[in-house]
Chains A and B, each alone.
Chain A
Amino acid sequence: MAAAAHADVHANEHDHAHEHHELSFIRKYIFSEDHKVIAKQYLISGIIWALIGGFLSLVFRLQLGFPGIDLGWLKPILGERWFDEAGKLDPNYYIALVTMHGTIMVFFVLTAGLSGTFSNFLIPLQVGARDMASGFINMLSYWFFFLSSVIMFASLFVHDGPAGGGWVVYPPLSALPDAAPGSGTGMTMWLVSMAIFIVSSLLGSVNYVTTVINLRTRGMTFDKMPLTIWAFTFTAILGILSFPVLFSAALLLIFDRSFGTSFYLSDIYINGQALPNQGGSPILFQHLFWFLGHPEVYIVILPALGMTSEIIATNSRKPIFGYRAMIFSMLGIMFLAFIVWAHHMFMTGMNPFLGSVFMLLTLIIAVPSAVKAFNYITTMWRGNIVFTPAMLFSIGLVSFFVSGGVTGIILGNSALDIQLHDTYFVVAHFHLVMGSAAFFGMVAGVYHWFPKMFGRMMNATLGYIHFWITFAGVYVVFFPQHYLGIAGFPRRYYSYTGFDFTNKYQDLAELSTIAAIVVFAANIIFLFNFFYSMFWGKKATANPWRSNTLEWTTPVNPGHGNWEGEIPAVYRWPYDYSKPGAAEDFIPQNIPFSATPESNLEDENEQIKEEKEIEGIKFNYNIPD
């Protein structure tokens, strides 16, 4: 096993006899079935989407911070028709920008870009598999995502503008093409794109779960899996069970829009004319939407939390505190995610008693979340912390998760929600707890696994600059928004200056905007670092972070099939850091207990006699796939 650790680059040598020939460029880099290439495809797509989504947010932040500002210079990019002669942004286009920012960030960056990248990259490498269960389905998953991306991107430029009305696309606004410009072609394309996106997500998730069940290496029992894998598995299960409900909801909405049905429509007048639609319920859509929408926020945050567990343990040089507690709290979060959706709907006129049931369930989520937060802190407590950029971003994640989570407890109260619903308080809450936290998890993952992805190191100094500006910047962007929200300023409004009572908060809005521009600029540094290091970064060693998990036992640039020769067997959990008695401060998972008598605990000495048995397990090739 140790031989594999400092083996050199043999990208094309592996033990699959039938694949010794060189694959063509197209099969190797474009229509690839290799999980590592697919992961990089997701990563690059995610980065491009993050740039677009971030850029859109800057456009509407400029309008919010400096109402009526001359944005005419954007005409060549966004189109003439969205700006008047003075360069003022069109209000209808403003809401479309908000909608597309939300959609892009939630689905295309933090779902596909995050899960797609790291589930694909890490699941086979960390459970000890040569690839995903089905490389072909994995490839399909990416290309469905690509197709949905193309449609969503094209919708930005259609004549009546992209979808408007918020990323939640509530009917009747979204169901009636005549209701607003953002309900026209753009909305149709939004729905089609999302339906394809759901297919992609489903294909990916099905693959992740089957890989974890069937393709763990010898000795990789479920209680020896890294927390990343647990997180990815729970994320995939969430996606498998909640996305189909959005699929149904979207199909019904498509019928309402295009075929005259009344699933969500009743008693509506447009321009004084009564519509024939009777009998449907717009609240029904909200229920269906949030049955996905709420699990979706955990689809976004769980992978980030999983990677953070791994990065914090590695860089604190200490075992993760409460390994099982981490798994059970993720399980608890996953379960609760399905039964709290109506806390997004306290203001729909629901029965207050039902509201209090959903409130109770919602507040219970604070328990597993707090368990996780305290476990991170206790893992770092008295550890030999190595402040790599990945570690800093992970700590940043914990910070956002805590400060955004605390406001979640406030919002979860149905009584307080009467005041805070649909205000900037909500915006601040979810941008911290789910947006920025998940984004930091993703960035931390890139810094940490970059050496495994590209065989080179990212520049640490640029990483520190990137971290401190972004970390401080995010707080400056979103902290003032809590005050705006408490003051009652509604989200999705075109301008703060519309009412007298909000005029005095204009300076806070300005501060938010300026900080947002700074954060965006800091991420350009990250982009430079990313692409520069890919080609000219310092060459990486096989295990630069002195980490325990299996991916670091592969060659620096793992080829197709990941390991040369046999896949290593696993004997211990992935968190044997700074074990008393051990020579090094880490013992990788593939080192048997029989090789470390000096540091074994009593029950680990017991496990030595099982080692031969575990090594002897043979994959059953007689079981047909």
Chain B
Amino acid sequence: MASANNSTTAEHLMWKGGIQPMKVGYGKLMMWIFLLSDTFTFSALLVSYGLVRFSFPTFEGLRKNFEFSNAWWPIPERVFEAVPFLHGISAPLVFVGIMTFILIMSSVTMVLAVEAGHRRDKADVEKYMLWTILGGIAFLSSQAWEWGHFIHGTEEGLTLANGTKVFGANLVQNQYGPPAFADFFFFITGFHGTHVLSGVVLNVLVFYNASNGIYEKRGHYEMVEKVGLYWHFVDLVWVFVFTFFYLV
């Protein structure tokens, strides 16, 4: 922020104590450190996913001959190829692409909100926070549909070796492949979704405070920036989740 730079302390004294050496308040420092910690939470989950995923065989044949089976890991673009209102049309990864685009756009509007906060432009902060909240809700709703479709399954289902038919996926069974695939899918996208949900709640709080002029009175919009850091982090994590579950 512009006001942060008007310190009387010379540059060579910044690390001599008595002043914030990195020119940031404790709140933003804490957010950065928390995000570092959360990185390890997600890394642990993604590494676990990788370990289990590579303990299963991949489908050996040609891609066009691919069939779902509990014996090998599925090809993601064959699992996620449905789009709402377009029943029966195969559109691999189109819907998740739209979801990802929405989430990344909400990061862009978050940047704009932070920038408006630097200018202390209350109206713009409100506008862009609202767009960000909207993006977050749109992402969560899309994910709910994606989950719903995944849980519901296809009409054909999967016939197991013992003759029973399995429709859709849950934490115990999975028509698209080994149950472990569904377990990790639900757990990791769910854990990420919980992060997005708390992000949306935080965004709503910030939006509420901003429109009530609390930050205007306080003289700075630091809270927008802190919540913004969290929101970008959640986006970044999605990029990895997306890569691991949909692309690899």
Where the two chains meet, the residues of A that have a C-beta atom closer than 8 Å to any C-beta of B are 127-128, 133-134, 137, 202, 206-207, 209-211, 213-222, 240-245, 247-249, 251-252, 255, 259-263, 276, 278-281, 284, 287-288, 291, 569-570, 613-614, 617-620, 622-625
Distance in angstroms from A184 CB to nearest chain B CB is 21
Q: What A residues does B25 contact at CB under 8 A?
A: 214, 623-625
B193 to chain A, nearest CB (A): 14
Task: Flag whether B145 is at the interface (Cβ < 8 A).
Answer: no
Measured between C-beta atoms, what is the minimum distance from B45 to chain A in Å? 5
Stretch at the interface among B2-10, B82-90, B95-103: B2-10
Q: Is the interface of B mostly helix, strand, loop or mixed?
A: helix
B18 and A618 within 8 A (CB)? yes
Q: How far is the CB of A257 from chain B (nearest CB, A)?
A: 12
Taking CB atoms, residues of chain B closer than 8 Å to A291 are 44
Which residues of chain A are within 8 angstroms of B108 by Cβ–Cβ distance? none
CB distance from A493 to the nearest CB of B (A): 32
Q: How long is the Cα–Cα vector from A280 to B26 in the complex, in angstroms?
A: 42
With known contacts A133-B30, A284-B51, A261–B183 Cβ distance under 8 A: yes
The 11 sampled A-B contact pairs (Cβ below 8 Å) are A128-B17, A213-B29, A242-B40, A248-B41, A255-B171, A278-B179, A279-B178, A614-B16, A618-B8, A623-B4, A623-B20
Q: Is B55 at the interface (CB under 8 A from chain A)?
A: yes
Inter-chain pairs besides A206-B30, A619-B18, 4 sampled, C-beta below 8 Å? A214-B29, A219-B16, A284-B52, A620-B7
Asked if B15 and A222 make an inter-chain contact with CB atoms under 8 angstroms apart, the answer reads yes
Contact yes or no, B40 A279, CB < 8 A: no
Q: Mark B163-192, 1 if CB is under 8 A from A, else 0.
A: 000000001100000111001100100010
How far is B1's CA from A248's CA once the two chains are assembled, in angstroms? 36
Q: Are A206 and B34 in contact (CB under 8 A)?
A: yes
Q: How far is the CA of A219 from the CA of B16 in the complex (A)?
A: 5
CA distance A259 to B172 in the complex (A): 8
CA distance A625 to B55 in the complex (A): 47
A434 to chain B, nearest CB (A): 23
A620:B4 contact, CB within 8 angstroms: yes
Residues of B within 8 A of A213 (CB): 20-22, 29
Question: B52 to chain A: which residues have CB within 8 Å?
Answer: 263, 279-281, 284
The answer to whether B48 touches A625, judged by C-beta atoms less than 8 angstroms apart, is no
Which A residues lie within 8 Å of B191 (CB)?
A: 251
Q: Is the CB of B18 within 8 A of A219?
A: yes
Given A133-B26, A206-B30, A291-B44, A620 and B16 touching (CB < 8 A)?
A: no
Q: Cα distance A251–B183 when bound, in Å?
A: 13
User: Which residues of the partner chain B approach A284 to less than 8 Å between Cβ atoms?
Assistant: 48, 51-52
Q: Kindly state whether residue B220 has any CB partner on chain A within 8 Å.
A: yes
Contacts of A209 in B (CB 8 A): 29, 33
Which residues from A are CB-within-8-Å of B21? 213-214
User: When the two chains form the complex, which single residue of B9, B10, B18, B171 contacts A216, counting CB atoms closer than 8 Å?
Assistant: B18
Residues of A within 8 A of B30 (CB): 133-134, 137, 206-207, 210
Q: Number of residue pairs across A and B with beta carbons under 8 Å?
A: 170
B179 touches A262 (CB 8 A): yes
Whether A245 contacts B17 in the complex (CB less than 8 A), given A133-B26, A261-B183, comes out as no
Q: Which B residues from 27 to 52 make CB contacts under 8 A with A?
A: 27, 29-30, 33-34, 36-38, 40-45, 48, 51-52
CA of A215 to CA of B34, assembled, Å = 19
Is the Cβ of A619 less than 8 Å from the Cβ of B19? Answer: yes
Q: Give every chain A residue within 8 A of B18 (Cβ-Cβ).
A: 216-220, 569, 614, 617-619
Q: How far is the CB of B134 from chain A (nearest CB, A)?
A: 27
CB nearest neighbor in B for A133: B26
B180, A614: Cβ atoms closer than 8 Å: no
Q: Residues of A contacting B44 with CB < 8 Å?
A: 244-245, 248-249, 288, 291
**Judging by beta carbons under 8 Å apart, are A624 and B220 in contact?**
yes
Interface size class of B (residues with CB under 8 A): 35 or more
Q: Does the CB pair A618–B40 fall under 8 Å?
A: no
Flag if A279 contacts B56 (CB, 8 Å). Answer: yes
- Is there an interface contact between A221 and B20, defined as CB atoms closer than 8 Å? no
Nearest-CB residue, chain A, relative to B6: A622
A262 to B182, CA, bound (A): 10
B236 shortest CB reach to chain A, Å:
16
Closest CB of chain A to B58's CB: distance in Å? 14
Q: In whole angstroms, how far apart are the Cα atoms of A280 and B179 in the complex?
A: 10
Chain A contacts for B20, CB-based, 8 A: 213-214, 619-620, 623
CA distance A87 to B68 in the complex (A): 59
In the docked arrangement, what's the CA distance between A278 and B177, Å?
12
Q: How far is the CA of A216 from the CA of B13 in the complex (A)?
A: 13
> Is there a chain A Cβ closer than 8 Å to B222's Cβ?
yes
CA distance A436 to B16 in the complex (A): 37
Of the candidates A222, A249, A620, the one whose C-beta lies within 8 Å of that of B9 is A620
Inside 8 A of B183's CB, which chain A residues have their CB? 255, 261-263
A222 CB contacts on chain B under 8 angstroms: 15
Taking CB atoms, residues of chain A closer than 8 Å to B29 are: 133, 209-210, 213-214
B27's contact among A251, A252, A570, A625, by CB below 8 Å, is which?
A: A625
How long is the Cα–Cα vector from A468 to B233 in the complex, in angstroms? 53
B205 within 8 A of partner (CB): no
Q: How far is the CA of A215 from the CA of B18 in the complex (A)?
A: 7
Bound state CA distance, A287 and B45, in angstroms? 12
Determine the distance from Cα of A247 to Cα of B1 in the docked complex, in whole angstroms. Answer: 35
Contact status B13-A276, CB under 8 Å: no
Q: Is B152 an interface residue (CB 8 A)?
A: no
Residue B24 lies at the interface, judged by CB distance under 8 Å to chain A:
yes
A248 and B37 contacting across the interface, CB-CB below 8 Å: no
Q: Which interface residue of A215, A242, A281, A620 has the most chain B CB atoms within 10 A?
A: A620
Contact A219-B26, Cβ < 8 Å, known A240-B33, A247-B41, A279-B178: no
A281 adjacent to B171 (CB under 8 Å): no
B19 adjacent to A617 (CB under 8 Å): yes
Closest 3 CB pairs of A and B: A218-B18, A625-B25, A133-B26
Check: B119 CB closer than 8 A to any chain A CB: no
Shortest Cβ distance from B184 into chain A, in angstroms? 8
Cβ–Cβ contact A241 & B37, under 8 A? yes
Q: Which residue in chain A gives the minimum CB-CB distance to B177?
A: A279
Given contacts A202-B37, A248-B45, A281-B55, contact A617 B13 (CB under 8 A): yes
Which residue of B has the minimal Cβ distance to A128? B17
Given the known A-B contacts A242-B40, A281-B55, A624-B1, are A262 and B15 also in contact in the complex, defined by CB atoms under 8 Å? Answer: no
Residues of B within 8 A of A202 (CB): 34, 37
A260 and B170 CA atoms in complex are apart in Å by: 10
Given A249, A252, A625, which contacts B26 in the complex, CB threshold below 8 Å?
A625
Residues of A within 8 A of B7 (CB): 618, 620, 622-623
B48/A263 in contact, CB under 8 A: yes
Cβ of B141 to closest chain A Cβ, rounded Å: 24
Quote the shortest CB–CB distance from B89 to chain A (angstroms): 32
In the complex the two chains form, what is the Cα distance from A251 to B184 in whole Å? Answer: 12
Contact A206 B171 (CB under 8 A): no
Q: Are A245 and B4 in contact (CB under 8 A)?
A: no
A263 and B36 CA atoms in complex are apart in Å by: 25
